[in-house]
Amino acid sequence: MPELFDTAPLIRKLESIFVLSDEEKHAVQSINGTVKAFGAHEDVVREGDAPSVSCLLLDGFMHRYKVLPDGKRQILAIHTPGDIPDLQSLLLRRQDHSLAASVPSTAAFIPHEALRALIRSRPTVADLFWRDTLVDAAIFRAWIESLGRCSALGHLAHLVCEVYTRLRAVGLTNGCSYGLPFTQTELGDALGLSTVHVNRTLQEMRGEGLIEFQHGRLTILDWTRLKAAAQFDPGYLHLRDPHASV
Amino acid sequence: MPELFDTAPLIRKLESIFVLSDEEKHAVQSINGTVKAFGAHEDVVREGDAPSVSCLLLDGFMHRYKVLPDGKRQILAIHTPGDIPDLQSLLLRRQDHSLAASVPSTAAFIPHEALRALIRSRPTVADLFWRDTLVDAAIFRAWIESLGRCSALGHLAHLVCEVYTRLRAVGLTNGCSYGLPFTQTELGDALGLSTVHVNRTLQEMRGEGLIEFQHGRLTILDWTRLKAAAQFDPGYLHLRDPHASV
DNA sequence: CGAAGGCTTGATAGACCTCAAACACAGTGG
DNA sequence: CCACTGTGTTTGAGGTCTATCAAGCCTTCG
């Protein structure tokens, strides 16, 4: 039962990385799909699936992850409202990773057929979506850089800076504070660290007066020093207005 | 001075991940651009550039990399003939990373205008290119997984498996052997390891009878055990015929 | 109140890094 | 032809970062 849903998060997300014409905005607003709610830690799409719909996150948080044969988990990406975490399934049949709700979340499922019709009829909308997947890839590159060459503290700081900047670009921060609804184990799976070491790194960052983090809410206490510790440069996010974040 | 060049590597690459119609093949073959040669370690595109052409690797090897403010380098991707390593510059103005020739290489530079004209006139060719960038992103995800959750040996084994599988898909292997023209320092920068540790890990793999590696040529001695050590599953490469590699 | 999940702490072990030096090899110039 | 240089590989020793194991604590929730 396709229905219209609130496209504001999607519009805000697309506008954060692209200038939209009125025509494009109307085209995007006309998208419809099936809205569904997910509980915390519930899988949305699983590795190996071949979905015929793509998922637009409307509210909550999602993350993408892989599980290795030996059982270890690696979180690949964190998604916020307006993201289409599995847009790539439009062109890559088999999912090479899974997608799950991090907290109770709602999402709209848009049939691939509808997306194809839309991008066929409006090539500039195709560019919007293509570009969105390219920014996604740019974020992966930044994660590779941090995983490969940063200390635990630098890497965690980078994650904090990135999520803050992305949320701020879509208007979901509250001053220097934002919701980061992940356990220390989940942060470890995102950063390639053990839970214990995440805990100690968080303590160090608190001790340094860089951040506060409790009950899933993160507060930045010293943006300048945090950014320096993370060696954070928001260029890779390809935001229209990168300085809106500072 | 645009010229026609050998599109065979590109065609082979695209055919490794997609079924091409004759019409699409002809469209791709009609692409022209400027051919240029690069010396080893020469930069092709630099972080911060806003190129108006995209680079198609015809012969040799290239790699993409970032340099952190503290001077550390992280290699993000390894490219083989037929790849278009900076296709994303078609839609993302500023390069968020650099591209360099790993060994003496030749590449064709295709103006963005020509690419845009091509994909406007043939939407299915647009899908080809979009899909290519999505596979690129899938490879980044696999690197994140290995960086975050694998030991040095597992990660190095994964890299060996990946490059082997990709080269084999475009017909550039020689039995169980292929050119991998990287120094141990470069491998370290790709794997997030020190040169010394790469050296010791290579020795361990040689001692285990998994691989041979000298003078830039890699030979796989025991594919089954190598694959197991790497926890390698080629699904993420989204090849049309994933089993051609085994 | 008990159970479960998440957070915190301590102790120990292991993987990997850094520094330093020796070795191998190819290219260069006298 | 041979020193000389530069780059890449190899080896050793010591140190640091992070993982693992194990336990205790705290909060939430049924």
Residue A4, pLDDT score: 80
Q: Looking at strand C, which nucleotides approach a protein CB closer than 7 A?
A: 5-11, 15-20
Average pLDDT, whole number, for chain A? 95
**Chain segment A183-227, per-residue pLDDT in tens:** 999 999 999 999 999 999 999 999 999 999 999 999 999 999 999
Scan residues 128-187 of chain A and list those with Cβ within 7 Å of strand C: 183-185
What's the token pair of residue A61?
């948080």
pLDDT band for position A133 (cuts 50, 70, 90): very high
Residue A242, pLDDT score: 67
The closest CB to that of B138, out of A70, A96, A123, belongs to A96
The closest CB to that of A149, out of B68, B149, B238, belongs to B68
Say if the Cβ atoms of B144 and A69 lie within 8 Å: no
Residue B245, pLDDT score: 47
Residue nearest to nucleotide C17 (CA to C1'): B194
pLDDT band for position B1 (cuts 50, 70, 90): low
Decide: B190 and B208 in contact? Cβ < 8 Å.
Answer: no
Q: Looking at strand D, which nucleotides approach a protein CB closer than 7 A?
A: 7-13, 17-22
Residue A245, pLDDT score: 47
**Mean pLDDT across A45-73:** 97
Average pLDDT, whole number, for chain B? 95
CA of A39 to C1' of D28 (A): 18
A90 touches strand D (CB under 7 A): no
- B152: nearest CA partner in chain A: A148
B196 touches strand C (CB under 7 A): yes
Residue A148, pLDDT score: 98
* Residue A1 pLDDT > 70: no
Q: Which residues of B touch A192 (CB under 8 A)?
A: 147-149
**Mean pLDDT across A162-167:** 98
**Mean pLDDT across A118-146:** 96
The closest CB to that of B192, out of A70, A137, A148, belongs to A148
Residue A243, pLDDT score: 64
Scan residues 125-154 of chain B and list those with Cβ within 7 Å of strand C: 151-153
- B87: nearest CA partner in chain A: A134
CA of B2 to C1' of C7 (A): 63
pLDDT band for position A158 (cuts 50, 70, 90): very high
Q: What's at A242, amino acid-wise? A: P
B50: which DSSP letter? -
B183 touches strand D (CB under 7 A): yes
CA of B197 to C1' of D13 (A): 15
Say if the Cβ atoms of B88 and A138 lie within 8 Å: yes
Residue A18, pLDDT score: 87
Say if the Cβ atoms of B130 and A130 lie within 8 Å: yes
How many Cβ pairs within 8 Å bridge chains A and B?
126
The closest CB to that of A96, out of B94, B143, B236, belongs to B236
Site from A16, A70, A91 to mutate, B interface, most B CB atoms within 10 angstroms: A91
CA of A28 to C1' of D18 (A): 46
Decide: A236 and A143 in contact? Cβ < 8 Å.
Answer: no
**Chain segment B154-201, per-residue pLDDT in tens:** 999 999 999 999 999 999 999 999 999 999 999 999 999 999 999 999
Secondary structure of chain A in the HEC alphabet?
Answer: CCECCCCHHHHHHHHHHCCCCHHHHHHHHCCCEEEEEECCCCEEECCCCCCCEEEEEEECCEEEEEECCCCCEEEEEEECCCCCCCHHHHCCCCCCCEEEECCCEEEEEEEHHHHHHHHHHCHHHHHHHHHHHHHHHHHHHHHHHHHHHCCHHHHHHHHHHHHHHHHHHCCCCECCEEECCCCHHHHHHHHCCCHHHHHHHHHHHHHCCCEEEECCEEEECCHHHHHHHHCCCHHHHCCCCHHHHC
* Residue A2 pLDDT > 80: no
pLDDT band for position B18 (cuts 50, 70, 90): confident
A231 touches strand C (CB under 7 A): no
Site from B72, B79, B120, B134 to mutate, A interface, most A CB atoms within 10 angstroms: B134
Say if the Cβ atoms of B127 and A91 lie within 8 Å: yes
Phi, then psi, of B117 in degrees rounded to 5 = -60, -40
Residue A155, pLDDT score: 98
**Chain segment B54-107, per-residue pLDDT in tens:** 999 999 999 999 999 999 999 999 999 999 999 999 999 999 999 999 999 999
Nucleotide nearest to B154 (CA to C1'): C15
